[in-house]
A = this chain, B = another copy of it.
C-alpha cells in the first residue's frame, strides 16, 4: 500500500478571521494534509493575500468556491485537491458542500450542517452516490477524554444512565458586538446568514453532539426556554432546555453567549446507577469518575491505562497538556486517514471513522428546530 499526503482546498478562512486559521493548524499538525488551494474570501485581494501568507501559488487562490471546485476538478489527479474544508457562515454550507460532492470531492464542513433536513438528505445522497466522505467539525468530541467516556459508557462502567447535564456558557455576546463591526458576531446574529437560531445553533449543537456521542443515547423531547438578552437581536443568545432521552434518561442542556466572564466552558456530567463521569473542555486532559462511597478517580490523558480509542487520539504522554487544536487535529487526521484508505480501496477502521458527519449534522438541525419551536409555544415537551 502506498500512502500519500492528502490535499486540502479551503473555502472561507480569510486572514482576518479566526476559524480558518484554526482549521488549517488542525489540518497541518500531524503532517498528513497539505493545503493546496483556497477560495478564502469573496474579496479577491483578501483571497490572494491569504493564499500568499499560506505559501500558495496565486493560480490556486480562486475567486469563488465554484471556480475552485470546477477548476480543481480539471487538474491532474496527482495535483488536484482531495477535499474541501468549508469554514464559512452557515447559509453557505449547503451549496458549497453540494457542489463539492457533485464534483467528486470529499467534504469537511463547519457546523451546523445546513438549514433544511432535505438539504442534509441531499448531501447524504451525494456522498453515497459518489463514494465520498463527509466530516462535520464538532471538534469537541474529538478530545481523547471524550472518546474515553464513550467507551466507558459503552462498557457499562456507569451502569444504566439516569441523568445527564451538559452546559456551554460563553460571555462574548453579552454586549451587542454585532453593532461594532465584529464580523463573527454580525453574521451569527443575522437570520439570513445564521438560520433560525444563534446560540442553540452555534453552541447548543455542540452540547447535543457531546451528549449523544458519549452516551449513544438520543434526545427525544425538549422543553426549552430560549432568550434574547441583547438589544435589537432577533435570534437567541441563551437557552435553557430540559431533556428527555431514550431509555428513560433525563437531562438538562443549557448554552449561553451572554454569561459574562465565561470563556468557553463546555462541560458534561453523566450519572448512571453505578457511577458518574464529569469532564470539562477547559481542562480537557482529565476526567473524574466517581462511585458512591468510593474513592474518587481522576483519569489523565496520555496514561497507559486508558482505552485504545483515547490513546489513538493522543500525541503526548500524560502531564503534557494537549488542547483544542489537538482535538481538532484528531478530527482532520482521522478524516485524512479515511481518504487514504479510500484511495487504497481499503475499508477504514472504527477508530479512524470516529468523527461526526451528516448524521450528526441532522441531529443538530432537528434539535435546533425543536428548541426554537418549543420555546415559542406554550407546549411543555416537543419531540426532536
Which of A's residues lie within 8 Å of B, judged by CB?
3-5, 18, 21-22, 24-25, 28-32, 35, 52-55, 162-163, 165, 169-172, 174-175, 223, 225, 227, 229, 238, 240, 242, 244, 250-252, 254, 256, 258-265, 269, 271-276, 281-285, 288-300, 302-305, 315-326, 378-380
Contact = CB atoms under 8 A, between A and B. Distances in A.
Contacts of A276: 171, 259-262
Nearest to A27: B31
B265 A271 contact: no
A273 B5 contact: no
30 contacts: A3-B55, A22-B315, A24-B31, A25-B29, A162-B238, A163-B238, A169-B269, A223-B225, A225-B244, A238-B250, A240-B242, A242-B242, A260-B272, A260-B276, A261-B276, A263-B300, A263-B302, A281-B321, A283-B283, A283-B321, A293-B303, A293-B304, A294-B305, A295-B297, A296-B299, A296-B300, A316-B325, A320-B324, A378-B380, A379-B380
B265 A319 contact: yes
Give how many copies assemble into the complex. Answer: 4
Contact of A261 (B227, B242, B290): B290
B300 A297 contact: no
Q: Which of A18, A315, A317, A321 has the largest number of chain B CB atoms within 10 A?
A: A321
Given A3-B55, A162-B238, A296-B298, 13 more contacts: A163-B238, A172-B317, A175-B292, A223-B223, A223-B380, A259-B269, A260-B273, A262-B276, A263-B317, A281-B321, A296-B300, A320-B323, A379-B380
A296 B297 contact: yes
A162 B258 contact: yes
A259 B29 contact: no
A31 B28 contact: yes
A264 B295 contact: no
Contact of A290 (B25, B223, B260): B260
A303 B22 CA distance: 17
B292 A260 contact: yes
B240 A252 contact: yes
A291 B303 CA distance: 12
A313 to B, nearest CB: 13
Contact of A35 (B31, B35, B275): B31
A40 to B, nearest CB: 14
